[in-house]
Structure 1
């Protein structure tokens, strides 16, 4: 497990939490002993005063540590106890399988190790035309649509049976299985709370396909971006979804210009494959439509950073350039940098992710 990123951070968090719990326990114990001594024993005026003063100080120390522990991110999941303590550090810029790649990037080391073992075990439990990775991606798409109310539970199980054999589908409904449907829902809720930007892009893409919006196929290139409207700590995640409607595979470059950013310019070269046309009658199958749109898309997850001194609105320009460096498309998005913790800051997202998992677990228990 030590080979997974984020282990040191979690160990430090657990060590600090343990230290504060011990301080709270010992300070409250000694404060009670001091009060007990003053109450029941004749220790003299001077000693009584010292004991009362020490009990007050110890009580304040206990209270301060209690406030700190209450404000820290709680460990709210019995199935994934370390999940709420993990923050993604290293990740690939290109998401080949957007939902599963994003989810795995947000797994704590312990869960990530169990996930890798589960993927190996699924090798013989998927249909002939599937791999464990493609089957999981298909299931996560169906789960996302089910969470939105666009897919009922019966259709969800039907989609699972299309990619998994009977043994694997039985494990998905087995309450003792570590990665059953209930657990996957929790992990999806955790991922959505961490990275709502990608899911906003997916929802816009799905809506454009269902409504046959002109933005889907009217131009040779479809470029869509998402960045948090406000961010703190000088960091933000930029998501880019690109579709190639030219009917030919093209090598393109994406220039990301971040005003006052570190770095100010990022250049990413990608190979895009042609997007398949979706007929109007085919959009009724939501799972297949979403799957084709995501399979044909080039999805980028780019980390942006600014100096701590930067404040206020900052534009980010994304320019798509062809093989001869000609401009094919360009978009500008804006985010506002703030010193205070905002809705999509790292600390807030960790807390919201933990709360989302907790709310989902309670709703399932009901």
Structure 2
């Protein structure tokens, strides 16, 4: 029985602890018993039902594991009490072996889910961004926020209030947050050093406030956990970060597309659309010196719906005329330009779906028109619509697990 207990008991304890901790947290929020002292009814917030269902699935998984191990162990005991070579003895061993194999595959299939129960943010991995704005104010800030579970989002809002209070006078709060996240994103990619990050932070944040904002190991939001949350959002929406990377390349290279064109439209879509649905991201900038009204039309053959139209008034956003450096002490650099450039443009996050009978390769067309309906630019994307989800979900789980490890790394020193 000891191997049986070793196999099952830790998982049961982990799941039951997570379940009761979540219920206690929801009750405390309803009573206003946490940090802000304000009552929050999280049970009706979008996404909570998915988290509850996820924990219930873990409990069902443990029940299945317990039943399989119990049957296998019982059959072994029955075989030891039965005369060897008899039909009952053979059947008991056969059932024991079969249930043992089934349990092995079951344990391997659910192993990643069990690992996630020890997460610092226990509900984060169970949450999915089912509700979000179509038009984002920024890529990193709004994407990160959209992928937080409702409880963690409350803590995020409290942290943003402290962050805003740590800024030097005159800095735009949204651009400063985007800049902070962008620098941490580049640091995680290895494109900037610890010293570069510290110098960048000191350029727009009050020195005495940095320690509490980014360097406290026990804080929910610090240098490493912010990097983890960025990587978490990237694990869900890798195509959105392709837009960010391509814009950075354009700014660094000074390509004609960014320095001379009147418009810059970039679109991104996953190569594989799982379950007949995906996310389309569009970044649009008016690079003239005057405000312009434009229309973005998205055509999705066999889609639901097949056509979507969005109209905007785009602020003027003249691009840099020369290539930028990634980081510069004396001149404007990419770290200055990119958050400002994105804020003056439009970032769209659209859910795309196909009818249930459709699968296979397909195209999506994004058309940009002016006020008179004249086509200014058009892009065609190719993707594979798949109805199978298991393989893609497992790959995402692995990406989420990699993101989690970032948050467990040591925080760089503040000096």
TM-score by length of 1: 0.87
State the Cα distance separating 1:48 from its structure 2 match: 6.1
Q: Does 1:360 align with 2:406?
A: yes
1:296 alignment counterpart: 344
Segment of structure 1 superposing worse, 70-79 or 104-113: 70-79
2:384 alignment counterpart: 336
In 2, Cα distance between equivalents of 1:53 and 1:208: 64
For the structure 1 residues 337 and 34, does the alpha-carbon distance in structure 2 shift closer, same or farther, using more than 3 Å as the test? closer
For the structure 1 residues 60 and 148, does the alpha-carbon distance in structure 2 shift closer, same or farther, using more than 3 Å as the test? closer
1:163 alignment counterpart: 204
State the Cα distance separating 1:13 from its structure 2 match: 1.3
1:314 alignment counterpart: 362
2:126 alignment counterpart: 85
2:145 alignment counterpart: 104
Say which SS state the counterpart of residue 127 (structure 1) adopts.
coil
For the structure 1 residues 334 and 30, does the alpha-carbon distance in structure 2 shift closer, same or farther, using more than 3 Å as the test? closer
Segment of structure 1 superposing worse, 355-364 or 204-213: 355-364
In 1, Cα distance between equivalents of 2:88 and 2:394: 47
Say which SS state the counterpart of residue 84 (structure 1) adopts.
coil
- Report if aligned partners of 2:254, 2:324 keep a CA contact under 8 Å in 1: no
Say which SS state the counterpart of residue 247 (structure 1) adopts.
coil
1:188 alignment counterpart: 230
Q: Which of these residues, 272, 275, 294, is aligned with residue 230 of structure 1?
A: 272
Segment of structure 1 superposing worse, 139-148 or 275-284: 275-284
State the Cα distance separating 1:64 from its structure 2 match: 5.3
State the Cα distance separating 1:37 from its structure 2 match: 5.4
In 2, Cα distance between equivalents of 1:332 and 1:50: 61
- Report if aligned partners of 1:193, 1:349 keep a CA contact under 8 Å in 2: no
Segment of structure 1 superposing worse, 202-211 or 120-129: 120-129
Segment of structure 1 superposing worse, 259-268 or 55-64: 55-64
For the structure 1 residues 336 and 64, does the alpha-carbon distance in structure 2 shift closer, same or farther, using more than 3 Å as the test? closer
Q: Which of these residues, 122, 144, 150, is aligned with residue 191 of structure 2?
A: 150
State the Cα distance separating 1:255 from its structure 2 match: 0.6
- Report if aligned partners of 1:76, 1:358 keep a CA contact under 8 Å in 2: no
RCO comparison, higher one (Cα < 8 Å, 6+): 1
In 2, Cα distance between equivalents of 1:206 and 1:67: 40
CA deviations on 1:87-141 (whole Å, 9 max, x unpaired) are 2101111111211101111112232222122223434333322465443212011
State the Cα distance separating 1:188 from its structure 2 match: 1.1
2:26 alignment counterpart: none
Which runs of structure 2 are paired with 1:1-366 in the superposition (5 Å)?
1-29=42-70, 31-36=72-77, 38-39=79-80, 55=96, 59=100, 62-63=103-104, 65-70=106-111, 72=113, 74-75=115-116, 78-130=119-171, 133-171=174-212, 172-280=214-322, 283=325, 285-341=333-389, 345=392, 347-348=393-394, 350-361=396-407
CA deviations on 1:60-82 (whole Å, 9 max, x unpaired) are 56445424423658516632222
State the Cα distance separating 1:144 from its structure 2 match: 2.1
CA deviations on 1:251-303 (whole Å, 9 max, x unpaired) are 22111011111100001122211113324275452311322332232111111
Segment of structure 1 superposing worse, 54-63 or 86-95: 54-63
CA RMSD of aligned residues (A): 3.1
- Report if aligned partners of 2:254, 2:321 keep a CA contact under 8 Å in 1: no
Say which SS state the counterpart of residue 280 (structure 1) adopts.
coil
Q: How many residues align?
A: 364
In 1, Cα distance between equivalents of 2:284 and 2:114: 35
State the Cα distance separating 1:190 from its structure 2 match: 1.1
State the Cα distance separating 1:185 from its structure 2 match: 0.9
Say which SS state the counterpart of residue 333 (structure 1) adopts.
strand
State the Cα distance separating 1:6 from its structure 2 match: 1.4
- 5+ long unaligned stretches in structure 2: 1-41
- 5+ long unaligned stretches in structure 1: none
